[in-house]
Structure formats: C-alpha cells, structure tokens
Amino acid sequence: MKRAVTLSALACLLAATAAAPTAFAGDGKPEASATPEASGTADAKATKTAKAAKKKIVHKLAPSLLDTVPRRGTLRVCTTGDYRPFTSWNRKTETYSGVDIEMARDLAKSLDAKATFVPTTWASLVADLDGGRCDIAVGGVSITLPRARKLAFSEPTRTDGKTPIVRCEDKDKYRTLKDIDKPETTVVVNPGGTNEEFARANIKEAEIKVHNDNNTIFDEIVAGRADVMMTDASETLYQSKLHPELCSVHPDKPFTFAEKAYALPRKDFQFKEYVDQFVHLAKHDGTYEKYEDEWMK
C-alpha cells in the first residue's frame, strides 16, 4: 500500500515539473530563477526601454541652406575684401568687386536671392563660417587640411601655389627658398592666412615682417622696407600689373601646389552639392574665365 502511494506521489511530481515553463539563458542553460511573473515584468521593462531609446535616436534634420537661402532671400557671403583679383573692398564706394564676388552674386541669383557681404579676416574666416555668421566664404580661399577639419569646400575654381614677388631688379636674386632665407632678407607677410603659414614653415634665417593691411603690403616692397613676399602666383601676376616696379618670380612653377575653392558649412551636404554643380558649370561655360580675364588680362 505504501509503495502504491509513493508511486502515485512521484507521478504527480513529475507531471507538475513537466507542465512548469523553464526559462533558458542565452547559452542554453536554465536561468537560476525564472517565473512567469518575473518574465512578464522583464518583458514590460524591456519594451519601455526600447521605446525610450527609439525616441532618443529620432533626430530632426536641420534645414539645408539650399532651402533656407531662397526663403530668406539673401545669401550671406563672408569675404576679406583684401585679396585682388578675387575680392576687393572699395572704401570710397563701399562696394566689393573681384572674380569671386561676381561668382557669389551669380550663385545668389541662381537661388532666387541677393548676395550680402559679411566682412571677415583671414584669421577669423574659419570661425565666422563655422559659427554661422555667413553661408559661404569666398575670395581666393585656399583648400588646406586644417581648414577642411572644420569646413567643407566646393569643387576647386583654380590651381595655384606660393611664389615670390620682388622688385624687378631682384628677380634673379630671389629664385629659391635658399636664396630668400638669409639674415639680410626681409620677408613681408599678411597675418592669419596661408602666406604667413608658408613663410613661418620655410623661413628660419630671414626676418619675417608682419604687415596687417593686405591692400598696401606690396608698397612695402616697392619702398624698400621689405624684399620679398611669397603669395599665390595669381596674386603676384595681378600685383605686378598694378606695380610695374614689381616682378613675379616663376609663377608657372610655384613652390607649392594648392587649389582655391569656396568654403561651406561642413555638414550641409545638399548645399555643397548644389555649389559644386554651380562651380562646375561656371568653369565649363566660360563664366569663370570671363571674370578672371576682366581682372588678369
């Protein structure tokens, strides 16, 4: 009798065990403790967590300048106004002119807007554009890796490079960096741009003289207060036209390779794509060449 009762109890126990749900961990081993109630609570918590995470990763994209500029009716253009033939500020008429100024006006017109120019300096250009003071920066801006860390660049408008401009009687005296980098030589630079960067990276013996006004810097060479300025070949050619006393040294074989472009906000890919197309068309339909010829020839 006892044996029958024992067998009956054992059968009941086995049936109850088989009916109870068993939870497994990810490695296939049973969890230490898992009940339907605990499992339900965990599922509810997981669902809430997933919903919360989903809400957090939904970001509203900032509107592109491709849409903002036409709605606003203005294209804000940062420019230094001191780098002919690309950008020039006329104090008497209080107007800007230059190759890139005309291109900026055309770009604005293509967006059903008007160009408004925001004064900047070479030292503050990156911060002004990155900080939202303007939508684009133009005026002979060279593409550099430090600038590219904070800004985007359009398709290049032209190829350029650093070369010397000197008094014509000295054009055979200052042909190489070794010729220039001597204690008796004075190299003049404008502050904050690639001209100063290049001079400080390559000149160790000659005196480096900083001149704050890029509009009058070439007068320093004419007057004998400086001997050499190293700047973009395009600028040396233009300035030698303005100052017959000055000569560009091997502008067809500059010391460096560089490209000029228009600086743009780094994360506005739609606007960059549009400006790329604008530059590409202007370089192939004769528009950019026409503006350069007006200044360079």
pLDDT at 193: 87
Chain segment 173-213, per-residue pLDDT in tens? 999 999 999 999 999 999 988 999 999 999 999 999 999 99
Residue 30 has pLDDT above 60, yes or no: no
State the Cα–Cα distance between residues 227 and 57, nearest whole angstrom.
59
Of 187, 256, 268, the C-alpha closest to 221 is 187
Which phi and psi angles does 35 have, rounded to 5°?
A: -120, 160
What digits encode the pLDDT tens for the residues 220-246?
999 999 999 999 999 999 999 999 999
The maximal CA–CA distance of the chain, rounded, in angstroms, is 130
- In the predicted model, what is the mean pLDDT of residues 112-141? 96
Among 297, 33, 288, 269, residue whose Cα is nearest residue 138: 288
In this prediction, residue 283 carries a pLDDT of 97
pTM of the predicted protein model: 0.72
Query: What pLDDT, on the 0 to 100 scale, is given for residue 255?
Result: 97
The pLDDT score that the predictor gives to residue 7 is 44
Q: How many CA atoms lie within 13 A of 18 on its CB side?
A: 6
Higher pLDDT, residue 131 or 37: 131
Average pLDDT for the chain: 86
| 8 A C-beta contact, residue 249 and residue 174 | yes
Q: Could you give the CA distance from residue 238 to residue 10 in angstroms, rounded to a whole number?
A: 105
Task: Give which of 92, 58, 81 is closest to 141, Cα–Cα.
Answer: 81
Q: Say if residue 1's pLDDT is above 50.
A: no
pLDDT in tens, 133-157: 999 999 999 999 999 999 999 999 9
Which residues on neighbouring strands pair with residue 76, listed in sequence order? 116
**Spacing of C-alpha 163 from chain mean position:** 24
Confidence of residue 14 (pLDDT cuts 50, 70, 90): very low
> Distance between CA 146 and CA 130 in Å, rounded?
13
pLDDT of 12: 46
Residue 50 confidence (pLDDT) = 58
Residue 297 has pLDDT above 90, yes or no: no
Element of type H or E holding 169: none
pLDDT at residue 113 is higher than 80: yes
Buried b (16+ CB within 10 A) or exposed e, 145-166: eebeeebbbbbbbbebbbbbbb
Give dist(CA 260, CA 155) in Å, integer.
9
Q: 283-288, long-range: CB within 8 Å, 24+ apart, which pairs?
A: 283/155, 283/157, 287/103, 287/106, 288/99, 288/103, 288/157
Q: Which of 270, 26, 1, 267 is nearest to 152 (CA)?
A: 267
pLDDT tens digits, one per residue of 258-289: 999 999 999 999 999 999 999 999 999 999 99
Whether the link from the prior residue into 265 is cis, omega within 30° of 0, is: no
pLDDT tens across 56-107, in order?
A: 554 566 899 999 999 999 999 999 999 999 999 999 999 999 999 999 999 9
Query: Can you give the pLDDT at residue 62?
Result: 81
For residues 107 and 159, give the distance between their C-alpha atoms in angstroms, rounded to a whole number: 21
Report how far residue 124's alpha carbon sits from residue 130's, in angstroms, rounded to the nearest whole number.
10
